[in-house]
Every structure is written in structure tokens, then in C-alpha cells.
A and B are shown apart, each in its own frame.
Chain A
């Protein structure tokens, strides 16, 4: 029997639930010559801010057992380049869901950038990043307080008339359900979770941090059980769809995330180990479904 991989996310049809996570797939265009992008359910683009940013000094990358740390620091060409150049170029070659990931250093910046993203015809979903651990005075500061998260959500909700708004949550909190509920109550259409865990490595020979930024976001296979637990808790506490993210490396992980309650599943650090991770995972899904007697992926969402 032909397996149905499609899912519905805020009335958008995705041909499958697999979406490369923001920051791990550039603007999609970087990989256009390397694979058929159209196999992907969606693409979450690199996080964008009002102004162009160079990001943090290097080294920005460190390794860990079963994972990695990054402190890229939101390098991006700015929201205007995103909506005027990157998205139109990607839209020409890609028919799946384009997810614009927006970051900011003030509520006003989030408002301005989201308004521009909302007016951009090529964008399908706006993902508001309130959880970047690698910039100072922004990002994470909004994602670790329910009140601040709600304020950002309500503000961007006001200016986003055309597109669903997902809030991307940080796992660096005591109670992620409290933040998730605050975002839902403030009008979020969906939630993406989780972003990276704040971490650090030290070069013991040099007696200095490995990352120039000292700390970075930890991601990769090691975080999968924690991300899964958070997706499970949030999906069961909220009524809006969840894109599960964190340590997904295989089709089996995708199924597990969906059983925990995710409607779509983002793949992050694994793309850096294997640029073909997403198409490979999508290719494996039918046989895993066959083995588990699943005809349609929609059927398994939140079944555990």
C-alpha cells in the first residue's frame, strides 16, 4: 500500500513532516544544486534580524559526544534581503512550505520584521525565534519568561494578518509548558520546540573556552530524549500544532516525535553531519511505516 506521508500544519498541506531546522540549512538556496529541494516538507530559513549581522567571532563551532555546539550569533543579511531576494529566489525553485525564522533584540524589532515577512508572498509560515542563546540582550531573553514570550507573541500576532505564527521555544527554562501556554494564550498559531541548550566546552590545553563566544547552543542526537519529553508535555498541554525539533537523526526519530505530539518534525544538527540527512530520512519513512503498520503519518500524531 502507498504510504501517506503528508501532514496538515495550520491548514497548509505538507507533503511530509520533515523540515530542516533554522540555521542548519541556510536559505535553502545553498543546497539547491546538491539535492532536489522539493522532496522536503518545508524549509525553515536561517534566522533573520532587522539589520544585517555578521554574527560572533570564530571559532563558532565545537564538538561534543553525540552532539555539537554552535555560536554563530545570527549571521544574516537582514530582513529586507530575506524578503526581497532570498525568499523570491527560493520560491522559484521550491514548492513546499517556506518558513521564515525571525529574531530580534526588542519587541519593536520583532514587530517590524514579522510585518515584512507577513507581507512577503513567498513565505508560508512565520517562525518567531525567542530562543537564540548566542546573542546578547535579545533572543533568549524573550524566551525564558512567560510574560516576555507572551508580549512578543501578542505584538507579532497584531501585524501578521496573512500567515500562521509559530513561536520557537527555548529549552533553557524551568517549565516549558508555562511559556508554551503563555504563547498560545497570546495568539500563537503553533509552536516550534526546542531550540538549542546553552552549553560550553573548554580547550584544556589552552585553558580557554573552545568557542570565541564562550558559550553556545548544544544540539544533536544527545538532546533527542529531552526535546521529545518537552514536545510531549507541550503538545498535551496546548491545543495548537507543534513542530518538534531536537536531535532528530532518523525516520524512527520522526515517528517518535510525532507520536509525542509533533505535527511536523525539524531536523537540525544532523544536516551538518550529513547534508543529505533530510532527503535520506524522508526516503526511509515509508519502510519504517510499513514495519510499524502505519498507513498515514497523520494518524500517529500525539497517539502516545
Chain B
């Protein structure tokens, strides 16, 4: 874990209520998520890392609460305190040859970084992403360029399969030896119920410290109590109690 200042290089609307935040500063960063101090708000906000390279860090966020709405108003050049190197992320090595990535909404963000890693390891990647409607779709071109197979589902049917991401999964001829999912809890529960494992899911919870010492984001698992921020946010499907 490191606490460092980053500067906003880009903070722009890329989809409905969805912003892309590019921070310049030390990179690439380790860990699954970063904990961002939004000026004027007491607690930090955790965001999955969507991309990270030399000197920069990219996040996607939705303006769902007061904190993220305030973040959206911050101009380029603003300095932000960021804790990096947090969380246990996806285990790309768990996949032998073919990976299936299933995302819902902004769950697509960490899966994009994972897809890059899997491709770098020479693995076959199938990605299926679900959104409520067309104007909420993010990272479409990026996934299309990167993945061997890419499919979309929208609840309103405006793009791709009409319905949930699970409907798109049922429509596909799936070949994978390991799956990875990130999205709303109900979606991941459905995905873990539908798909044959092995696989893992990235969870979300209200956090305090984000670094494993306040025990604010605990989760009961088949292995006993675990901290979403430190022992996760990625957990093996068999460890999860839905």
C-alpha cells in the first residue's frame, strides 16, 4: 500500500452518468483497486483499476452518490491523494487456455485490465458484458479489439442480446476453462449459478479503511469471515455464500 498524490489528467463523461478519470502519477500500480480521497468528503472512495501504465492510472466511475458527483466536477490539474496497491485481484494464472469474462455495468472496468493481462499471457478471451441500455455501454471498442469473442447484452435490447448478461451467455457456444465476473451482486449470483466453474467474482462493499484493518467490509464465506478489501475483493466462487 502506498499513499501518493496524483493529478487529474482527464475527467470526462464517457457514457450515461459514467466518467473516465485518468490520473497522472506513479504507475503502473499494483492491486485491484485504489482508495481515492475526494476533497470535502470524510472517507475515501474505492475504485477498481481499469488500466494502469507508466505514469498513469485510469478509473471509470458512475455518479451514484454525492462523493462521485463532487468528483465529476473536479477539473484537470486537481491533485488527489490516492492509496494504491490495495486488494487481492483476479488470478489470471488460474486460467489455463481459455477465459470467460462476464461483466455488468462498471464491472467491465477491472475486467478490461484482466483481459489485457490474459492476452499478454497468450490466452483465449471471451468477454460478455451487460448494460441497462446502449448509452451506458463502456469499453466496447477496447474489448472488441482485445478479445477473441465479445458479446453484449442490454436490458432494453437496444444493443446485443435483449435481457441480462446471463441471457447472452445462454445464447453463446462457450469454451473456457475458467471464468471471471464483476458486476452487481444479483448479476454475479446468477452468473455463478449458471456457469460451470471454476471461476471467481469481484465483490463490492462499503469500505472504511480499504486496507484490511478496520473490519468494516467483512463477508461471511465458506472459509469463515473475510475482508472484502484485503482478502478480496476477488473471491473464488466456491467460497461465496450468496
Which residues does A use to contact B, with CB under 8 Å? Answer: 23-26, 30-31, 34, 46, 54-55, 58-68, 70, 72, 75, 220-221, 271-276
Contact = CB atoms under 8 A, between A and B. Distances in A.
Given A55-B218, A68-B42, A274-B3, A31 B206 contact: no
B63 to A, nearest CB: 14
Contact of B209 (A66, A220, A272): A272
Given A68-B43, A68-B208, A61 B217 contact: yes
A58 B214 contact: no
Given A61-B207, A63-B41, A272-B216, 5 more contacts: A26-B212, A46-B215, A58-B205, A60-B216, A272-B43
A273 B212 contact: no
A61 B206 contact: yes
Contacts of A220: 42
Interface in B187-242: 205-209, 211-220, 225, 230
B32 interface: no
A275 B211 contact: yes
Contact of B218 (A26, A60, A63, A64): A60
Closest 4 CB pairs of A and B: A26-B213, A30-B213, A61-B216, A59-B206
Contacts, number: 91
Contacts of A63: 41-43, 67
A49 B190 CA distance: 37
18 contacts: A24-B209, A26-B213, A31-B213, A58-B205, A60-B206, A60-B215, A60-B218, A61-B43, A61-B206, A63-B43, A64-B42, A66-B42, A67-B42, A68-B43, A273-B42, A273-B43, A274-B3, A275-B209
B205 A272 contact: no
A157 to B, nearest CB: 29
B218 A271 contact: no
A273 B3 CA distance: 11
B118 to A, nearest CB: 28
Nearest to A56: B218
Nearest to B37: A273
B223 to A, nearest CB: 13
Given A54-B220, A58-B217, A70-B216, A271 B209 contact: yes
Given A274-B3, A275-B83, A30 B212 contact: yes
Contacts of A70: 208, 214, 216
Given A31-B213, A58-B219, A65 B42 contact: yes
B44 interface: yes
Most chain A beta carbons < 10 A, residue from B212, B217, B218, B219: B218
Contacts of B3: 274-276
Nearest to B2: A34
Nearest to B216: A61
B15 interface: no
Contacts of A60: 206, 208, 215-218
Most chain B beta carbons < 10 A, residue from A31, A46, A273: A273
Contacts of B220: 54
Contacts of B174: none
A72 B44 contact: no
B16 interface: no
A25 B208 CA distance: 12
B13 interface: no
B70 interface: no
B240 to A, nearest CB: 14
Nearest to B214: A272
B219 to A, nearest CB: 7
Interface string B30-61: 00000001000111100000000000000000
Contacts of A75: 215, 218, 225
Interface string B5-33: 00000000000000000000000000000
B225 to A, nearest CB: 5
